């Protein structure tokens, strides 16, 4: 058993170990800041506002941006799935929600709402938003008036 541990530790004595340490420290910080920016940048009425399409942009750029956005969304979603596994640290469901919000497909808003209403997710998101002076995310709308439903 000690030989296995010793062999494992010898592998970290290569010249690449400072890079590994920097990456091990930078990736969680960057992912946290990216998630925070997404949470704070989301409008409170995101689920109920009509989607605006940028038609003034050249069609080639629109397609390129759509493909890039979908690729980034898929990567973030897969990272969220990995973080949601047992014994893997990280805000998995939150990253899955962010990844889905970047990808375009039919039924997207319904799936986002379903993920957001998971236990502790909406409360956590709204606590973070409140800490930075942002209004809570609205998840239901009554006929004629808006109603805030922040209970999952």
* Residue among 130, 142, 131, 136 at smallest CA distance from 116: 136
Condensed to tens digits (0 to 9), the pLDDT of residues 33-67 reads: 877 888 888 888 877 777 666 567 777 888 898 89
DSSP state string for 58-95 = -HHHHHHHHHHHHHHHHHHHHHHHHHTSTT--S-HHHH
**Number of residues assigned to the chain:** 152
* pLDDT confidence band for 16 (50 / 70 / 90): low
Task: Supply the range of the domain harboring residue 123.
Answer: 2-147
pLDDT attached to residue 51: 65
- pLDDT exceeds 70 at position 7: no
The model's pTM is 0.55
Q: How many domains does the chain have?
A: 1
The answer to whether residue 40 sits within a structural domain is yes
Residue 71 has pLDDT above 90, yes or no: yes
In a domain, 152, yes or no: no
Rg (CA), the chain: 20
Confidence check: pLDDT of 147 > 50: no
Classified as helix, coil or strand, 126 is helix
C-alpha distance from residue 1 to each of 8, 11, 43, 45, 122 (Å) = 11, 16, 54, 56, 45
| 99-110 residues labelled b (16+ CB within 10 A) or e (exposed) | bbbbbeeeeeee
Tens of pLDDT, residue by residue over 98-142, are 888 888 888 887 887 887 877 788 888 889 999 999 999 887 754
CA dihedral 62, 105, 47, 101 (to 10 degrees): -70
């Amino acid at each position: 058993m000690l030989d296995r541990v010793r062999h494992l530790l010898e592998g970290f004595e290569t010249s690449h170990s400072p890079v590994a340490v920097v990456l091990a420290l930078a990736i969680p910080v960057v992912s946290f800041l990216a998630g925070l920016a997404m949470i704070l940048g989301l409008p409170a009425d995101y689920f109920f506002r009509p989607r605006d399409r940028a038609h003034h942009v050249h069609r080639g750029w629109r397609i390129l941006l759509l493909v890039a956005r979908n690729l980034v969304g898929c990567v973030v979603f897969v990272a969220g799935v990995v973080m949601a596994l047992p014994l893997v640290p990280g805000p998995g469901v939150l990253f899955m929600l962010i990844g889905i919000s970047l990808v375009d497909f039919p039924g997207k808003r319904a799936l986002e709402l379903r993920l957001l209403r998971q236990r502790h997710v909406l409360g956590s998101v709204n606590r973070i938003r409140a800490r930075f002076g942002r209004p809570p995310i609205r998840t239901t709308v009554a006929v004629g008036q808006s109603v805030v439903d922040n209970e999952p």
